[in-house]
Structure 1
């Protein structure tokens, strides 16, 4: 053991000893285990080295007393959320007490030996090969009243060790099943498109479509700043998950995360909820109370449905966002806070500004960094992944073992889900409840048996006018009063949305089946042509045909 030496001399000594071990002709796992043994003798912490393959799948896990039979036990010991944060942000993670950090679950704390009476610290640094992150070096230890080295000094030491480990990985095979050297792996990663190389995984957000990946790449970048973020997207797309991910990946992750739905409260209640009130400020104010801004001090405040607040309250909110100060209701004392605001809306704010329903200055203040959450119809490839996750959750909750038949996945892929992910989840649960066999088949899906909610929306809309999707070539954001084009608003956000999630345009009214039949006959019973003739989508034509039992003629 390395003991009884000055800190810098001791650090130099341990680096020299680790260099000798990594330069020796050991198997990679053995060399890494010996490295951790030397490290433990210096910093008195248990360490784990985790290596991932090119697809960010955990490949090698080595602990201090590693052997082939201990691999699984070390895998179970890994705090995966903390590891994922290091991998995604490419930055060290220093946690004084894991019990107070969101990256550690109750299971993680139990494995690490943390409790209400036992504090455990954690430090993790990334391991890189030619600039690409290939793994992490993490250590943890129980805090006591004795002396210990400062966390920043431990971090510097671990970073130096991680650099040596990265150089060593170049010269070894990752595993018996992967004969490419890590250097070749690094070269392969460098040759990949930037989108694939920077793929980000965030807990709770499922999918691999281009539209979703574009959003996921932006989240860690936005999270690092203190700037106000505006999350745009239709109802049910998962805007709240995106807001939580931004907070969890930000430097404020260990601070409060407070959320409030602005649409659910009246103006008076909203003011009290956000700014707090003093005792006796109004009839039911029996005690003084802090508002959400005070509770979220040094942290993040998520304001959902911000487009629904009244014009008078918009002026009050603008001052808080600009000055970071306010007064409680019934008080003249100014309260200063440091809060990062994340706002969300499914409303077209540009049109609201043009109609003087939303303050232009507030729009500019909150729309600093806009993020667009794509609707489910723009990420059809993610539907099977989401459906599988929802079915797994249903099985876990109800003790079932249901699976999807391929016909069920085909049926789900044919639906546009105007209610987005929330509607898909309900659809899967409904099918799982009503399924009569061990598998969910196509007939169990609402779209296949006349119980589709999307069809109900469309049929209801046909009574007042068709709801049609705007063709891609005509989805040019307006450049007049709305200002959408000037601010780079995604086309789907720049359009007024009807309940089904598609844009309402002027077109022929369809009150019965006669018009549909006439259009189909005129177009040679080609649904796409008949849809264009009536100003509908082919799917809406299909709904009408099924509802009235119209048989398609084959010419």
Structure 2
């Protein structure tokens, strides 16, 4: 009878255990126990070395002492690894076990071991010890143990292959999920980018966006409020593009840029010959925006005398061009924007109360950047990408750089952040921008000096909130030359641009007459003209 036929029942029992649907560690423990019962051994064990992604596995028979007490001498392990099998009829008389006192028994003990191989690579050792018996066929025993070890090797290979595939499948699933998440986030960002540059995912920003979209469906007057640099113009475009007027013109106009007379001409237009230089008829912003949307930015800065004229066109939709007598009627959706405290301006009689109620149809307050958690990295990446496209560069942020930016309050909001990114990218000396590349790390973040009492958390410049003058006024005062110091006075007494232009126009651009109108000296008027960059007209 062949040995294989003789062992068929035992091998079948072992195979059932080895290929049962259990984890590898449990499978090998059951395998060792079953083998011990089948061969009637005293004790035994199996040790499998750790592989990539796997831990070392040690299995011993239930009747054995602890794993530490069942340690096979290294010399014996080396012999098994080299020869593939080992038979020691009496461990007490073997040189391989001379240093292992725990192996010594009163009765002679035999040690039988076989190497466990996976894909022809030895990965462990299967061993048993039994009481030495006269006439016992140890070669037959080690043959059986070798066959069992081969089956164990195949089982180990199968378990590891399935495990790797499961891990690979899980990793692929996770990668696909991450890819879907990134695509979803990218789509969200792209949708936001289509909303005229409104980039961000913070709850505060999303709330403002949703409100703007709801308001866009009506023709209600909108007042966008918020600090400078929060994106009021972008929100105005968003409202226009989500309105029924989206195919009509979107016109924007910055109110405080001109004097009262020029402001009237720009908004209402003028007839040919209405004033010197009016050589042709010109349409105003209201006419250009007819059927569409008109954004009047910094509405809180318009001169008081012009507020009454503006109130009429808001209420009635009617106006006359400068120098004209024909009343024109327009259909314009009005959006106003300001960073000024209009309520205080009304109390101080700087802004008409009736105009305030007219423009405050639906107020939307835009959140400053310091309240938009998580948006700074998105904005910074978008600005850097725009810089790369414009300049043919391939810069990117290190994680530490984005973390550094996220800690800044950015009192100048999105506009200040964009300037910070562009400045840093321009001066970057490598493709990776790190936190050390920012100007604030070398005390060069001078923009923070414009903000009285504001301390940027990542800037080293701390401003004194108790200073007697505003930082901007102080900066202007420092620019006054000694020659002008006595006559022009400090910058806090600088003539306002609108008042200056109005007086010059009234005086026919004669500086001496304008000085008398303003109650100033000619030198003060001359200094104000230079400071404001006013182009003197020659009539």
Q: What TM-score results when the alignment is normalised by the length of structure 1?
A: 0.47
Q: Which has the larger radius of gyration?
A: 2
Q: What TM-score results when the alignment is normalised by the length of structure 2?
A: 0.49
